[in-house]
Chain A
């Protein structure tokens, strides 16, 4: 590639039900009755892989979907119910060969020990293509499903108060601990711990297995993992963030942060804030991707895309709003927008198809060729692992490194 061509950008798709627009399931292409079958998800991921995308994410949650932030809405006119995202990713892994698979896990009510081995195993079954998107839940109705903790009702407004910020910080501190435990467990086996030494009868060299001895406010975990270090060493950790406290988690603990800038200046400010947090955390020289999230309606001409959005809004009975910017237009217009946002420091994008059956193929068959024409996107998969696709090296094992310098 010539030095004047733009640096390639990274592209992911966020899979959620029949798409991100609440009326998406009513489109003829939507296949809403197939949502709980493996075939549906296999087809979505195969399409994303045909488009050479870096990875797909699978949304998840420990309660029914809702149009309210903190509570159930009792609605019957939108998609409700979903399958466990880690299991969907594992079910699809043997059917694909290059694309990264990034399920969502909720850190608030689950066990980091279980999730660590689940994602390590996803890395084995996909031969190095696993990631995880860590999400927390402060929703009282989800806490009621576990009965171990109770949370005060929550709203977006309440989060902006000092008490809300304090509560937010506490939840994110727990998520940071969670990620730390998961990462330590991945490293708790050195890569060459399995020795199969027939002379001494030892299957492993136990000097290369490490207790992680994590002690935190919400949990403590002894280790080591029961699952050997996964192929990527550390599968890719990601998280969605909208303000300072979550940005801090992204900067300290993840490999990819998803952010929701509404224009280029906003993107620049977000990137600056995360990079500053990264510096403060002493990670300035570690690669950290910042992906912009966008909802997309893609059609051959802008008027069609806008009309489709309006038609779906009318079906839903209200205009669709999102934390992310909503784009309606052509692949060329979207390519322009992505490149502009990229110039503000974003390194990739996670697109949320408004209608999966329509906008996912529009991304792979419209946007991707457009970006390729501009020398801004790959023409073939250049690596076999997700870290490889993202330009991330396989990390050294923290315990092996410690042992070597001790």
Chain B
């Protein structure tokens, strides 16, 4: 008997502070005005997507001691936008990245529990962590956190917020007007947490929300990150662009669940991906090349090379060969506030490899950055893209995708109009939402059911 078809999960990432967001296109609108977010969210909901995703930034990026000005700069506050989007959508999940380093558990738990109430159960949290003093300069605590403590603080942060979410069971608000009993339990919300990072106690002041807790997302590819996700997350963002890499990641992460008493369907794997659609595959390929040229201007190419070389390369010609000098491997990095710099853990080796590849292919600096900077991308006609996505999911390379268009706010529209109907025809994507909450869309049980299940087994 053949395996039943897996249902694909799809989400939409609002294009933002990254060189993949093409702001110079005449179709590009505001990335700040609420009308852009509302358009994007309505498109995602029209297409029956699981959720919308917002990234976060807490300090403007700098390079060479100056504010980086080539990409989109600036973004609104995550919680505020998600709460407002709850007013213009009915079903769409609302996922936001919130940093566990520059916040406190009580406040974040209040905000997510409030968002879950105000959206009728559609809140999700992408838990990220940071340690850098650069971002810390905007906050009371400063950049105090040693790098090796970032996951320990994140883990304890999440455990603490879960204690706060669980401090209300859901049956405390009686509001019995006749007897005059509002609260069934005077100690509703009581909590005590003593740990390495947090020593707090008291009473949480938001009653249990529709989803019990927000859905938890996690990104991070290190062994620690995978373990954190396996133990505590409902979904993990990955960045694997080939089928075999995707399958290896999928197998690895799913295999880690059992030791936490979890089933393999209790953690979804959702890589980020962009897409370029054309009437034909050839047309889409041409368009994709054009988009890449827009995403990587000569100036952008030089700046990206500086991430690896860690030197001012402004005197180099982006259309010329790569620098023959070696990267500066000192600690003080030319680029500040940018996560992808960490991808180049061995800059000398990366520089060597890039020089070899550029020489072998006769690539200029700009060509090299275009070729090496490619993310997971679906390029082709709608039917090709629908087929590729479905093949990827059915082959267990992921459970779905978080799509990032390159144009704000209309970039998602063609996908919604042309690809989604094909996936629906194939019976691998919903035509109606399964229920009101994000947990319903993702097929995740309510935490209370999970607790009962574990207790019963």
Contacts and interface: CB of A to CB of B under 8 A. Distances in A.
Interface of A: 23, 25-28, 30, 32-33, 36-38, 61-65, 72, 74-84, 86-88, 90-95, 109-111, 113-114, 117-118, 120-122, 124-125, 127, 141-142, 144-148, 189, 194, 196, 198, 200-206, 209, 218-228, 315
Given A84-B110, A227-B32, 6 more contacts: A32-B177, A38-B87, A117-B80, A118-B77, A206-B67, A224-B60
Contact of A83 (B32, B34, B66, B114): B114
A91 B205 contact: no
11 contacts: A62-B106, A74-B186, A83-B114, A86-B79, A93-B87, A94-B88, A124-B33, A124-B76, A145-B106, A221-B137, A227-B76
Contact of A198 (B24, B60, B80, B206): B24
A294 B343 CA distance: 59
A64 to B, nearest CB: 5
Nearest to A38: B118
Nearest to A95: B87
Contacts of A86: 79-80, 83
A25 B175 contact: yes
B96 to A, nearest CB: 11
B206 A109 contact: no
Interface string B35-72: 00010000000000000000001111000001101111
B202 A141 contact: yes
Given A111-B139, A146-B104, A146-B200, A118 B79 contact: yes
A203 B72 contact: yes
A117 B102 CA distance: 14
Interface in B78-95: 79-81, 83-84, 86-88
Nearest to B175: A32
Contact of A201 (B70, B110, B139): B70
Contacts of B103: 111, 114
B115 interface: yes
Listed from nearest, the 10 A-B pairs whose CB atoms lie closest are: A90-B83, A121-B80, A222-B137, A84-B114, A32-B175, A125-B84, A121-B77, A121-B76, A76-B183, A147-B200
B149 interface: no
Contacts of B120: 37-38
Contacts of A121: 76-77, 80-81
Given A32-B175, A76-B185, A77-B180, A201 B66 contact: no
A146 B106 contact: yes
A180 to B, nearest CB: 14
Contact of B84 (A91, A205, A226): A91
A194 B186 CA distance: 52
A201 B299 CA distance: 8
B207 interface: yes
Nearest to B110: A84
B203 A315 contact: no
B5 interface: no
Nearest to A23: B180
A81 B189 contact: yes
A93 B67 contact: no
B297 interface: yes
Contacts of B33: 124
B23 A203 contact: yes
Contacts of B66: 206
B231 to A, nearest CB: 24
A144 B201 contact: yes
A356 B299 CA distance: 58
B159 interface: no
B138 interface: yes
Given A91-B87, A201-B297, A84 B201 contact: no
Given A30-B177, A196-B23, A147 B205 contact: no
B38 A94 contact: yes
A81 B139 CA distance: 28
Given A62-B106, A203-B69, A80 B202 contact: no
A30 B120 CA distance: 21
Contacts of B74: 189, 194, 204, 225-228
A149 B142 CA distance: 16
B77 A117 contact: yes
A220 B142 CA distance: 8
B181 interface: yes
Given A33-B173, A76-B182, A203-B69, A110 B107 contact: yes
B185 A33 contact: no
B177 A81 contact: no
A92 to B, nearest CB: 7
B73 interface: yes
Count chain A CB atoms within 10 A of each CB in B66, B70, B175 and give the residue with the most: B175
A91 B189 CA distance: 24
B80 A90 contact: yes
A61 B32 contact: no
Nearest to B203: A64
B304 to A, nearest CB: 13
